Amino acid sequence: MTSHQHSSAVEHAPEPISPLDSPYRQSAETRAKITSVSDQISEIVLQPGLHMGWIAGFAISFMLVQMMFVSIAWLLIKGTGIWGVNIPIGWGFAIVNFVWWVGIGHAGTLISAILLLFRQTWRTSINRFAEAMTLFAVACAGIFPALHVGRPWYAYWLAPYPNAMAVWPQFRSPLLWDVFAISTYASVSLLFWYVGLIPDMAELRDRTKNRFVQIIFGIFSLGWRGSARHWKRYTDVYLLLAGVATPLVLSVHTIVSFDFAISQVPGWHTTIFPPYFVAGAIFSGFAMVLTIAIPLRSAYGLKAFLTDWHLDNMAKVMLASGLVVAYGYLLEHFVAFYSDHYAEKYMLINRMTGPYWWSYWMLMLCNIAIPQLLWSYRVRHNVYALFALSIVINIGMWLERFVIVVTSLHRDFVPSSWGMFYPTFWDWSLYIGTMGLFCMLLFIFIRVLPVITIFEMREQVHHEGDA
């Protein structure tokens, strides 16, 4: 367990800063801060006791989780009618939130897998918690489709399992494809995350003095000893998993978008949906990574690992994916105009000027107008601005789903059946409850697992520190 940074840190003259450089090389100050990668990261997990801040954060999210459980219980007692959904707006917050969470769940695997394949070394600082975030977001997302059905206790009928009725699910329905897409994505993401954790858990196993923690990490590190053969196999598996996960990043939201695109509801029935959903997912995923990373790195003093350049890079990805999303909006308008179909055209006019006009214009503001600030170097390097922007984009992406789901449904083909959707208390409580679940899982994760990949970071520091 050697560390190289001690000897070399002070001797080198400051080198010119290049955005292409890895974080470690950006400034002497950064280098100086990285005392020992392993010490610093594992310290977060292995330190005894709990910070007040952690306790407070955990307590709040825990209470929100209780609210979630109450909301679920009431839903099961009373029925879907406690929500604001109706005919014609058969899907409401549940689907909006589902798609929103799934979108958020995109960034992690994208960062881990695709950036790994592209050898973007800056991903090292963020991939671990981004992956965790993915898993938690998918967990939150998974709650909604199961609960949104009228009889949740029969939701398992969506699965193609052999049964006495000899009835199979209907394979033409995109909802069924969803089941496969989400479950595959969740399991591959979990596997990917877990495999990445193995060397680090072994590290923690070796470092802790607590017998119980030793046993737990001992079990989960699967007898990792760090031999060359282990490392060889490990890297092979990790790369393979990255290869498997990469298409999933694209497929999941593509298939989620089919829920809409396959239907014939004006505003849903659009071929642009798959790429535009994927771009939107990356957009919102990176926004959520930023939302978490910025407070995290200041709370745990991880600015040395998670530098402003990381934030800068993520901001750039956001900007790029945001532009793709904007293109998607543009094309939606064009197609509606070009199709010359009365319902398509009315749908767009109604989005802009109908009763839900505010959601449309808020969406344009949050997802197109405000993110243009990211062109500015100063904005990208101002954590407060970035944090605010990430929140704005999170809201914007939620609104996007709201606009797609609600405003498309509320006025479709037959004007006599047009309606309005008013969310109820229970709509909100379940949504906010899942946010609580997400945060609670994150708090637990921060406390029990290394938030940054120790071995990869060390490897990087090793390579670059000596350069």
Partner 1 sequence: MLDNTPSPFADNVSPAPAASSGCSGGSGASMAASATTRSTTPFPIRIADPDALVTLNTQTRARMPGTQWKSLEEYESDPEFLARVQKEFAPGAEWWIDQASRREFLKTMGASLALAGLTGCTIRQPVEKIIPYVQIPENMIPGKAQFYATAMPLPGGAIGLLAESHEGRPTKIEGNPDHPTSLGATCTFSQASVLGLYDPHRLQVVHHHNRPAVWSEFTGALEGRLTLAQKNQGAGFALLTEEIISPTLQRQLRAFLQANPQAKWYQYAAWESSNATQAARQVFGAPVTARYHLPNADIIFSVGADFLAEGPSHVRLVREFSARRIVNADATANMNRLYVAETTPSQTGAKADHWLRLKPDDVAAMLIAVAAELGLDVGGEARTAKVKEAHQNWITALAGDLKAARGKSVVIVGAHMPSEIHALAHLVNQELGNIGQTVTLVDPINVVPDQTPGTISDLTQAMEAGQVQSLVILGGDPAFTAPANLKFGEKLKSVPFTAYYALQVDSTAQLVQWRLPATHYLEDWSDARAEDGSVSIIQPLIRPLYDGRSVHELLAILSGQKDVTGFNLVQETWLPGFGNDAKKLWEKALHDGVIANSAFQPATPAVKGEAAAALKQAFAEAPAESKEFTVVFRTDPSLLDGRYATNGWLQELPQPLSKLTWGNAAWIGYSTAKDLGLKSGDHINIQRGDVTVSIPVWIQFGQPSQVITLQMGHGRTVEGFKTVGVDVYPLRSAANEWVTTAQVKPTGKRTVLVTTQPHHNMEGRHLVRSGTLKEFQDKPNKPGFMTVGLHHGGGDEHEGGEHGAAEHGTEGHGAEQGGHAHDAAHGHEAVASKRDVTPHHGHPAVIPEGENQNPHYPEGGPTFYEDWPRVGNQWGMTINLGACTGCNACVVACQSENNIPVVGPEQVIRGREMHWLRIDSYFEGDPDTPDVYHQPVSCMHCEHAPCEPVCPVGATTHSSEGINEMTYNRCIGTRYCSNNCPYKVRRFNFLALNDPVWQLPVLQMAQNPNVTVRSRGVMEKCNYCVQRISAVRIQSKMENREIRDGEIRTACQSACSAGAITFGNVDDPDSAVRKAKEHPLNYGLLTDLNTRPRTSYLAAVRNPNPALVSTAAEDHA
Q: At closest approach, how far in Å is the CB of 92 from partner 1?
A: 10
- Residues between 145 and 164 that touch partner 1 (CB under 8 A): 148-151, 154-155, 157-158
Interface with partner 1 (CB under 8 A), residue from 3, 173, 251, 382: 173
Interface with partner 1 (CB under 8 A), residue from 66, 377, 417, 463: 417
Is residue 81 at the binding interface for partner 1, with CB under 8 A as the rule? yes
Is-contact 435 19, C-beta < 8 A? no
Interface with partner 1 (CB under 8 A), residue from 26, 80, 367, 460: 80
Q: At closest approach, how far in Å is the CB of 255 from partner 1?
A: 13
For partner 1 (CB under 8 A), the number of binding residues is 59
d(C-alpha 367, C-alpha 148), whole Å: 27
Interface with partner 1 (CB under 8 A), residue from 180, 220, 234, 418: 418
Q: Closest Cα to residue 329, out of 394, 403, 390?
A: 403
Point out which span in 18-26, 197-205, 421-429, 450-458 binds partner 1 (CB under 8 A).
Answer: 421-429
Is residue 263 at the binding interface for partner 1, with CB under 8 A as the rule? yes
- Burial of residue 237, with CB atoms counted within 10 A of its CB: 0-12 exposed, 13-18 middle, 19 or more buried: middle
Amino acid identity of residue 102, one-letter, is V
Angle between helices 127-148 and 93-104 (to 10 degrees): 160
Q: At closest approach, how far in Å is the CB of 422 from partner 1?
A: 8
Radius of gyration of the chain (CA): 23
d(C-alpha 152, C-alpha 452), whole Å: 38
Compare residues 35 and 264 and give the one whose CB is closer to partner 1. 264
Amino acid identity of residue 246, one-letter, is T
Is-contact 125 457, C-beta < 8 A? yes
Is-contact 52 109, C-beta < 8 A? no
Is residue 423 at the binding interface for partner 1, with CB under 8 A as the rule? no
Q: At closest approach, how far in Å is the CB of 280 from partner 1?
A: 20
Q: Which residues contact 341 (CB under 8 A, 6 or more apart)?
A: 266
Site map 220..249 versus partner 1, x via CB under 8 A: ------------------------------
Is residue 54 at the binding interface for partner 1, with CB under 8 A as the rule? no
Compare residues 191 and 262 and give the one whose CB is closer to partner 1. 262
Interface with partner 1 (CB under 8 A), residue from 57, 84, 267, 371: 84
Is residue 169 at the binding interface for partner 1, with CB under 8 A as the rule? yes
Backbone angles phi, psi at 205, to 5 degrees: -55, -40
Compare residues 308 and 427 and give the one whose CB is closer to partner 1. 427
What are the residue ranges of helices labelled H in 210-302? 211-220, 228-261, 273-299
Compare residues 176 and 444 and give the one whose CB is closer to partner 1. 176
Give 26's DSSP letter: T
- Residues between 356 and 395 that touch partner 1 (CB under 8 A): none
Is residue 78 at the binding interface for partner 1, with CB under 8 A as the rule? yes
Give 13's DSSP letter: P
Is residue 332 at the binding interface for partner 1, with CB under 8 A as the rule? no
Q: At closest approach, how far in Å is the CB of 346 from partner 1?
A: 6
34, 83, 284 from 112: Cα distances, Å? 23, 37, 16
Interface with partner 1 (CB under 8 A), residue from 13, 119, 161, 416: 416
Interface with partner 1 (CB under 8 A), residue from 16, 52, 161, 170: 170
Is residue 349 at the binding interface for partner 1, with CB under 8 A as the rule? yes
Compare residues 264 and 376 and give the one whose CB is closer to partner 1. 264
Q: At closest approach, how far in Å is the CB of 141 from partner 1?
A: 16
Cis peptide before 160 (omega within 30 of 0): no
Q: At closest approach, how far in Å is the CB of 86 from partner 1?
A: 3
Is residue 67 at the binding interface for partner 1, with CB under 8 A as the rule? no
Is residue 447 at the binding interface for partner 1, with CB under 8 A as the rule? no
Point out which span in 105-113, 214-222, 416-424, 436-444 binds partner 1 (CB under 8 A).
Answer: 416-424
DSSP string, 107-156: HHHIIIIIHHHTT-GGGGGTHHHHHHHHHHHHHHHHHHHHHHSS-GGGGG
d(C-alpha 104, C-alpha 290), whole Å: 11
Is residue 90 at the binding interface for partner 1, with CB under 8 A as the rule? yes
Interface with partner 1 (CB under 8 A), residue from 88, 199, 371, 465: 88
d(C-alpha 395, C-alpha 462), whole Å: 40
Compare residues 120 and 417 and give the one whose CB is closer to partner 1. 417
27, 266, 318, 328, 415 from 274: Cα distances, Å? 41, 16, 18, 10, 29
Q: Which residues contact 291 (CB under 8 A, 6 or more apart)?
A: 387, 390, 391, 394
Binding residues vs partner 1 (CB under 8 A):
78-82, 84-91, 148-151, 154-155, 157-158, 167-170, 172-176, 179, 259, 262-265, 340-342, 344-346, 349, 353, 355, 409, 411-420, 422, 424-425
